[in-house]
């Protein structure tokens, strides 16, 4: 069975500072990994995804993530955040052996302050 752990429930950060959101997963087969962002009262928007290939993945809005198979991690980073990055961030995983399910971590609330 697959599962996702987001290690930080809340991350306060100052504007223009870097941010890293941590995500670890467990799965017994090849995985597909995703980061989504959710603004208040909105659906989820894809930031980036790892399906295969290069372990460093670049997404929208200046975000990037690195897939580390040995550490079963997929941490999200941004070198300089803006006020508009204040949102909830979810790491998600799906795998070939799990009936097309997409499972989410508990989420990390990022609050950017001026």
> Quick one: which of 49, 62, 64, 66 contacts other proteins (CB under 8 A)?
49
Residue with tokens 């090849």: 30
Binding residues with other proteins: total (CB under 8 A): 25
SS3 61: helix
Tokens of 49: 């995804």
Interface with other proteins, residue 34, by CB under 8 A? yes
From the list 68, 75, 56, the residue with the least C-alpha distance to 8 is 75
The smaller minimum CB distance to other proteins, of residues 9 and 114, is found at 9
- Residue 8's CB: how many other CB atoms inside 10 A? 15
Q: Does 90 bind other proteins (CB under 8 A)?
A: yes
- Applying CB under 8 A, which residues contact other proteins? 32, 34, 36, 41-46, 49, 51, 90, 92, 94, 96, 99-107, 109
């Amino acid at each position: 069975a697959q599962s996702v752990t987001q290690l930080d429930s809340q991350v306060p950060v100052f504007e223009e500072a870097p941010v890293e959101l941590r995500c670890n997963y467990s799965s017994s087969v090849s995985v597909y990994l995703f980061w989504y962002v959710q603004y208040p009262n909105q659906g989820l928007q894809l930031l980036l995804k790892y399906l295969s290939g290069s372990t460093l993945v670049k997404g929208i809005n200046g975000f990037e993530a690195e897939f580390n198979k040995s550490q079963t991690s997929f941490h999200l980073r941004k070198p300089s955040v803006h006020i508009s990055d204040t949102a909830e961030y979810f790491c998600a995983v799906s795998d070939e052996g799990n009936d097309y399910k997409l499972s989410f971590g508990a989420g990390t609330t990022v609050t950017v302050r001026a």
